[in-house]
Amino acid sequence: MENVRGRTVLVTGASAGIGKAFAKVFAAKGWNVILTARRLDRLEALAVEIEAKYKVGAIAIEQDLAAPDSVDKLVAAISDRRVLTVDGLVNNAGFSVPGHYAKTAWADQERFLRVMVTVPCELAHVLLPPMVQRRFGRIINVASLAGLIPGAAGHTLYGASKAFLIRFSESLLLENRRANVLTTALCPGFTYTEFHDVIGTRDKVSKYGKAWWSTSAEVAVAGYDGVMAGKPIVVVGRRAKQISALMKVLPESVALGMVGRQSKTFRSEEPGTSDNEPS
């Protein structure tokens, strides 16, 4: 196994949930961490905790990734802190836009696409060439079980964005693994984070039993182990794995009908925007 102590990883959406868990998992393995999100107070508290507990470097950078120039500002801020190399990237930041597509505001959907699709691609595009040159890199794109099943009514672009991340991750892996730059799409099912509270579906998803749920730590550990092993896709959660396997064998029309019938049990019907960093 390669020695990763002293390497540096950038984690987006690191102030809570899966992103926070990822920061701790990487730090426990000896990585220095760069934490970015919109909530600086949470980031700074996490940075202090990580430095004290794991004896690695931790930097907190406030950044709203929905802003058009956010990646340029983030990269500049990293450079200003004299970070010479970024060896890992966890694209975790995200949110969802509840409601049916026609009832939502395009401005909200545009922000969604930037955070969920454009920023992960842009960050990878910036950080990938030096990784290839140094012949070491690890990229985790936090996707979802939603990217492996047919689209559902409501939160219209969410599953589509996650499916995009899965295919994007596969292509990056194929293009760069000979240079020891590995990419994994992480596909958790229901995860204990703030996500469902923020988008207003906590009462609906709470009806699902414990077998449906994973902790943020479980998801982050699975993602870390998966990318270090060079796995293109990692599905997390017992029920998520069962559903993923089932969708591979069902006819598309049958699978679409099943998802359609279940949509109202876990998706909000109210339009609006819900920023949430755990994704």
Q: Which residues are catalytic?
A: 158
Q: How many CB atoms lie within 10 A of CB 213?
A: 19
User: In what order do the strands lie in the sheet containing 58-62?
Assistant: 58-62, 32-37, 8-12, 88-91, 137-142, 181-188, 233-236
Exposed/middle/buried for 177, CB within 10 Å: 0-12, 13-18, 19+? Answer: middle
Q: Which of 50, 67, 70, 69 is nearest to 58 (CA)?
A: 50
Q: Which of 249, 102, 233 is nearest to 170 (CA)?
A: 233
DSSP letter at 32 equals E
- Cβ 86 vs Cβ 136: under 8 Å: no
Q: 113 — phi, psi (to 5°)? A: -65, -35
- Cβ 226 vs Cβ 138: under 8 Å: no
DSSP letter at 118 equals I
Q: Which of 47, 37, 20 is nearest to 275 (CA)?
A: 37
